[in-house]
Amino acid sequence: GAGVSQSPSNKVTEKGKDVELRCDPISGHTALYWYRQRLGQGLEFLIYFQGNSAPDKSGLPSDRFSAERTGESVSTLTIQRTQQEDSAVYLCASSLAGQGGLYEQYFGPGTRLTVT
Amino acid sequence: QQPVQSPQAVILREGEDAVINCSSSKALYSVHWYRQKHGEAPVFLMILLKGGEQKGHEKISASFNEKKQQSSLYLTASQLSYSGTYFCGLIQGGSEKLVFGKGTKLTVNP
């Protein structure tokens, strides 16, 4: 079946502009995660959605970052007033229900964001 | 909360073995291991759960020491295809959030 897809694959934007990144999880996966990966760095947790529960937003670096998810489908990550330090690859992952990490995460190809 | 991985990098010749360690300062519920090749998305390798249950690829082995709050990934008879950055991710009790370490870069040379 289809894997996790993300769009756009690349985004170049000017400092101060808003950007919206999209993630389509694997059908039936109730858990969805967003991560940020700066060049040569690790995976930085941003936000986690699980079904209809309130999302875990503890990783969002500032109030310029927000994310939404419609039911158990598409999610969008929005970055307002982008800054150069926002330049990174943004990865989305999905998995079956959480339950303490019983299920593996499937990652999308990522969106490479460059802020000029 | 971020797990500590060691070593940060390791270089092997094909056929050699390596161990990658992951430790936490908090009690663990589960440990995930992923491998990321350059320019690609991370790919699942293994999950180890408190209580001993494991799921993952047959050719990968790992251990989970609940008392020491540590996990180790064992790569034996390494192949060129093993090259990449290995990340451990931890689920701590009471949370569904997977927090990753900074990664261990493994290079396997012919």
pLDDT in tens, B64-101: 888 888 999 999 999 999 999 999 998 876 667 888 99
**By C-alpha distance, which of A107, A56, A96, A47 is closest to A72?**
A96
How do the pLDDT tens digits run along chain A, 116 residues long? 589 999 999 999 999 999 999 999 999 999 999 999 999 889 999 999 988 888 999 999 999 999 999 888 899 999 999 999 999 999 999 998 766 567 889 999 999 999 99
pLDDT above 70 covers a percentage of chain B that reads 96
Q: Are the Cβ atoms of A101 and B100 closer than 8 angstroms? A: no
Q: Are the Cβ atoms of B97 and A48 closer than 8 angstroms? A: yes
Instruction: Give the mutation candidate from A32, A39, A105 for the B interface (greatest B CB count, under 10 A).
Output: A105
Q: Are the Cβ atoms of A100 and B102 closer than 8 angstroms? A: no
How many C-beta atoms surround the C-beta of residue B28 within 10 A? 24
List Cα–Cα distances, B6 to A12, B19, B94, B103, in angstroms. 35, 9, 26, 8
Examine the pLDDT at B26 and tell me if it is beyond 90.
Answer: no
Q: Which residues of A touch B93 (CB under 8 A)?
A: 100
Average pLDDT, rounded, for chain B: 90
How far, rounded to the nearest angstrom, does the alpha carbon of residue B83 sit from its chain's CA centroid? Answer: 13
Q: Are the Cβ atoms of A56 and B97 closer than 8 angstroms? A: yes
Q: Are the Cβ atoms of A109 and B41 closer than 8 angstroms? A: yes
What integer pLDDT is reported at residue B19 of this predicted model?
96
How far, rounded to the nearest angstrom, does the alpha carbon of residue A49 sit from its chain's CA centroid? Answer: 10
- In chain A, the residue whose alpha carbon lies closest to the alpha carbon of B99 is A45
What integer pLDDT is reported at residue A100 of this predicted model?
59
What integer pLDDT is reported at residue B55 of this predicted model?
83
What integer pLDDT is reported at residue B93 of this predicted model?
66
Residue whose structure tokens are 């034996």 = B76
Please give the torsion angle defined by the CA atoms of residues B37, B43, B49 and B55, in that order, rounded to the nearest 10 degrees: -120
What integer pLDDT is reported at residue B110 of this predicted model?
95
pLDDT above 90 covers a percentage of chain B that reads 64
